[in-house]
Amino acid sequence: MDSIKTKKISKDEKKLLKKMYWRSFTLYSAVTPAKQGASGFSYAMQPFLDKFYTDQESKRQAMVRQMSYFNTNLAVYPFILGVVASMEKENSEKKDFNSESISAIKTSLMGPLAGIGDSVFWGVLRTIAAGIAVSLALAGNILAPLIFLLLFNIPVQILRWQSGKMGYILGASYISELYENGLINILTKAASIVGLAMVGAMTSQMVKLDITWNMLLKGKKVLETQKMLDQIFVGLIPLIITLISFYLLKKKNISINYLIFGIIIIGIFLSLFGIA
C-alpha cells in the first residue's frame, strides 16, 4: 500500500485517467450478445492507446485486444480499466512484454469483481439507500428520491474514480516487477485458468435448453429424457451447443449474426415440435 501512496502520476496520466473515468460511463451503451460491453471498454481505453502507441500496427493490435468479451459490475469496472491501461503502457515500452497477459488479466478480473460489486452495491448499498428513502417518503419528505440517488451514487462514484487510479498505479508498480522476476508467465497462466473457469461458469448459467420430449408407452411416460441426460452429465446439451458454436466461430469463421439467427430458428423449430 505504501507504493500506491508514494507513486507519482504525471499530469498527462492524470488527464488520461480523467478521460477514462468519464468514458467509463458508456460501458453498456452499445451492448451486443457476443461482446457485451467490449465497445464501451475499448472507447474508455482509447486515450491511453493513442498516447502510448506510436506504431499504427501495435495500436491496431491493442485496439483488437480491447474488443474482446467484457462484462462486469459498473462500480468496480474502472479498476480493471486502470490495470489494463498500465499493462498497455508496459507493452508499448517493452518489446519482449507478453501481450497475452493483458487479455488474461482482464478476463480473470471481471468475474470476481462483478460478484463483489453486485453483492456490495446492488445487494447491500442499494437496499440501505432505498430503505432510508422509503422511510422519508412515507413521512412525506419530497426529497426522498434525491436522497436515494445521493446515498447510492456518491459512494459508487468515489470508488469508481479511486479504483481506476489505484488499478493504474498497481499495474505500473507490480506488473513490471513481476515481469523482471520472471513471474509474469505464471501470472498469465493462472489468470487464464481463472478466466476460463469464469467463462465456463457463465456458460452453465446462461445457456439453457431442456428437452421436454419424453418416451411414452400406451399413454404413460416411461422415460423422461431430460432426467436421463442429467444423470449422464448435467448441462450436456448446453455444453454441446456452446462447443459447436465455438468451433463454428473459431474454425469455420461463421459470423456471430448467422449463429444467433440459426440458434433462434432451431429453438423455434424444437419448440413447435415439442422437443424442447
Q: Read off the pLDDT of residues 243-252 as tens digits, 9 standing for 90 and up.
A: 888 888 878 8
Picking from 45-59, 88-102, 210-224, 237-251, which range would have the lowest pLDDT averaged per residue?
210-224
Q: Are 209 and 181 in contact (CB under 8 A)?
A: no
Say how far apart CA 161 and CA 158 lie, in whole Å: 5
Of 158, 175, 201, the residue that ends a domain is 201
Same domain for 212 and 195, yes or no, is no
- Residues 242, 112, single domain; the answer is no
Q: Last residue of some domain: 174, 201, 228?
A: 201
Tell me, yes or no, whether 160 and 243 share the same domain. no
CA 12 to chain CA mean position, Å: 27
Q: Are residues 158 and 65 in the same domain?
A: yes
Query: Model confidence at 5, in pLDDT bands (50, 70, 90)?
Result: very low
pLDDT digits (tens, 9 = 90+) for 217-231: 766 776 777 788 888
| Closest of 82, 85, 17, 78 to residue 49, by C-alpha | 85
Single out the residue in 145, 171, 201 at which a domain terminates. 201
Identify whether residues 193 and 213 lie together within a single domain: no
Q: What percent of the chain stands above pLDDT 90?
A: 21
Burial class of residue 175 in the structure, from the number of CB atoms within 10 Å of its CB (0-12 exposed, 13-18 middle, 19+ buried): buried
pTM score, whole prediction = 0.67
**Cell of residue 102, nine digits:** 493483458
Q: Once rounded to an integer, what is the mean pLDDT over residues 89-107? A: 83
Its domain, for residue 134, covers: 2-201
What is the number of alpha carbons within 13 Å of residue 200 lying toward its C-beta? 7
Task: Please report, in angstroms and rounded to a whole number, the separation of the first and last CA atoms in the chain.
Answer: 54
Residue-level pLDDT at 190: 67
What was the pLDDT predicted at 157? 93
Greater confidence (4 vs 35) lies with 35
Q: Which of 2-6, 58-62, 74-78, 267-271 has the lowest mean pLDDT?
A: 2-6
Query: What is the rounded average pLDDT of the residues 118-146?
Result: 86
Q: Phi/psi of residue 214, each to 5°?
A: -130, 150
Q: How would you class 219 by CB atoms within 10 Å of its CB: exposed for 0-12, middle for 13-18, buried for 19 or more? A: exposed
> Do the Cβ atoms of 33 and 256 come closer than 8 Å?
yes
Q: Say if residue 18 is in the same domain as residue 125.
A: yes
